[in-house]
Amino acid sequence: MPEDTGYGSGRTKLLYDISKEQAFEAKRYDEELTAAEDAAKADSEGSSLWQTLGTVAGALFFGLGGGGIKGAYEGGIAGGEGAKWLHRLFSGYDPEDYSISTDMGKFNVQEAYKMEDVNRQFEDAHKSQFWQDVAGTGKAIGSLAYLGSDLGGMFGETGSEILGKDILDIAPENVYRGQPGDFIRLGGGKSTLWETSLA
């Protein structure tokens, strides 16, 4: 009988340890995922804000500077694109800084693969947004060159060449190629990261 009691006590302790570890990991996962999603969302919203302000500033500067409606239109395009890349330069956002922990303790080691996949989805989403930004800027430069703008002319024939080519064609094959209105879901469909938009 003492052996049975010892076995029962040991099994109870094991089950307690497992449930305790699972509860800890679930809480940590929720906290880290929320932090990663919040950071990605803040970066996306910051980019949109900068681009909007840049568009308005560019339109006002070139429009009021004697360029009229055409100048305001071209200045808005250039200002928005310039502000977008300035935001990228100064935002400091890197999905690796918000990686989900893959240290799953003693009992749920296999869950590390799930965490690695979530981290990979954040990184792929970030790369995808970069290539969409490149494509948007290429189209903007092409539009300016096509309109005969001095702003577009600064890039020589590059703008015209970009106008007829989708820059996403040269993006790495593993980069998500979203369409306007698509949503990127992370964490097994647990939440929405942000709405993609091809400029």
Q: What pTM was estimated for this model as a whole?
A: 0.64
Domain boundaries, the chain: 2-92+111-195
Q: What is the pLDDT of residues 136-183, one digit of tens each?
A: 888 888 888 777 665 544 444 444 444 444 444 544 555 555 554 444
* Tokens coding 11: 């099994």
Higher model confidence: residue 110 or residue 49?
Answer: 49
User: What's the first-to-final CA gap in the chain, in angstroms?
Assistant: 74
Q: What is the pLDDT of residues 170-181, one digit of tens each?
A: 445 555 555 544
Q: What is the pLDDT of residues 8-35, one digit of tens each?
A: 666 677 676 677 777 888 888 889 989 9
Instruction: Taking residues 94-98, report their average pLDDT.
Output: 93
